Structures are given as C-alpha cells and as structure tokens.
Homo-oligomer: A and B are copies of this chain.
C-alpha cells in the first residue's frame, strides 16, 4: 500500500516548457469510478500499470501494479466504456520537486494541469510562476472525471 500526497494546479502560459527534462505520452482509462475508489489502467510507451486509488483530495491511498501491455490495451479497448484520457506528461523540476505538467489531447485539448507529489501533506511548496489556480480539491479536474467529458471544465 502506498499513500499519494499530491497537489494539482491549472497551468498558465507556456513558460514551463523551458524547464522540461522529459516527456512521455500517456493513454489511460477508467475501469471503475465509484465514490470511494477509482481503478485506472495506464499505458506509457511499452509499460502498463493498474492503479487503484482510494478517496481523494490531497492525501489518497494508492495501490499500483505493473500489468502486461497486451492486457492493458485490451482493458482500455473493452472495459473502460469510453472513459479515457490521452495526454503528454512533461517532467519539470522546480524547487527541489519534480512537477508533472500534463497537456491533454482530444476533447480535452487546451487543458494543462500540473501535479506535484509531496513527501508530506504539510511539505512547503515553492509554486512556479506558471502554477495557476489550485484544483487539488476540485473533483471536476480529477482525471477520472475528465475522462468522461467532451470538453475541458469551465472556470
């Protein structure tokens, strides 16, 4: 079992692009999305994993396991019922932490969200200039909810 402690922000502007050290495309879908639990399958290049997250906000229980790529692709194609998200994830080191800047594609094009994992819930966070409004507790911006939208949320 793990605990995910993560804060999330909308991204303003393009200045973050200057700090990118790595990028990869993620194709993920939701096998289940209930009040308590989401079950996600994600393909990143030749690697795939299955992730179970408990109730969220800032601190969430998280269980993650590698799965065969072929299984993940079959689950994405047949068991996610269209609840899918495609995005390119950019790693951007800032203030001693690695931020992940996700540029969404398809119906969510235009949406850019930055996530940062913290070693503790009260860990001080030096916000980069391009971090806009915090959406950690705004369920509309969770990937599990975004996966069902046909356009980015407004506001």
Interface residues of A (CB under 8 A from B): 1, 31-34, 36-37, 39, 50, 52, 54, 61, 63, 65, 67, 70-71, 74-75, 78-79, 81
Contacts and interface: CB of A to CB of B under 8 A. Distances in A.
Given A32-B39, A36-B81, A81-B36, A75 B50 contact: no
Contacts of A65: 50, 65, 67
Number of copies of this kind of chain in the complex = 2
A1 B74 contact: yes
A118 to B, nearest CB: 21
Contact of A74 (B34, B50, B61, B81): B61
A39 B36 contact: no
A40 to B, nearest CB: 11
Contacts of A31: 32, 37, 39, 52
